[in-house]
């Protein structure tokens, strides 16, 4: 079993979830069951899949969960751009969050590549 609690990518992801929750507090109330709910679930899914994958005994299964985490990160990025396009939030704030999620995407992808290389050994 892998100790995901010590990984920077997991801890940074948890901080990112908090920032998404704070952002969604400022969205229009009519979006509470739309964009707000969807982006919150997707952000939580990033770290949930890292944690769940860490519990898997095979690298193949872990790899699959990291790919789901990456997919959730891409979903969050798309939702942030949608929020930005609708002018629902401050552009600077959404740009900061887009930069953070892009960083998470790169790091998750690098983690996937590392696991993939370990499988080839």
- Let me know if 20 is exposed, middle or buried by CB neighbors in 10 A (0-12, 13-18, 19+): buried
Whose CA is closest to 61, among 121, 4, 115, 3?
A: 115
- Asked if the model's pLDDT at residue 119 lies above 80, the reply is no
CATH of the domain at 72: 1.20.1440.60
- Asked if the model's pLDDT at residue 115 lies above 90, the reply is no
Residue-level pLDDT at 118? 77
Residue 1 included in any domain: no
pTM of structure:
0.94
Phi-psi region of 61 (alpha: psi -120 to 50; beta: other; left: phi over 0): alpha
Q: How many domains does the chain have?
A: 1
Q: How many CB atoms lie within 10 A of CB 109?
A: 14
Residue-level pLDDT at 121? 62
Residue-level pLDDT at 1? 77
Averaged over 29-34, what is the pLDDT? 94
Residue 64 included in any domain: yes
Averaged over 98-104, what is the pLDDT? 98
- Asked if the model's pLDDT at residue 99 lies above 90, the reply is yes
Q: Determine the Cα–Cα distance for residues 7 and 71; give it in Å rounded to an integer.
A: 19
More confident site: 59 or 40 = 40
Residue 9 included in any domain: no
Residue 7 included in any domain: no
């Amino acid at each position: 079993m892998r100790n995901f609690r010590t990984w920077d990518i997991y801890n940074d992801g948890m901080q990112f979830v908090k920032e998404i929750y704070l952002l969604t507090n400022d969205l229009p109330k009519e979006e509470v069951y739309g964009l707000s709910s969807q982006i919150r679930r997707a952000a939580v899914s990033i770290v949930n899949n890292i944690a769940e994958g860490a519990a898997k005994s095979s690298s193949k299964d872990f790899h699959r969960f990291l790919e789901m985490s990456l997919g959730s990160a891409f979903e969050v990025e798309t939702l942030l751009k949608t929020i930005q396009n609708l002018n629902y939030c401050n552009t600077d704030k959404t740009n900061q969050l887009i930069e953070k999620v892009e960083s998470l995407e790169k790091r998750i992808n690098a983690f996937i590549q590392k696991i993939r290389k370990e499988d080839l050994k």
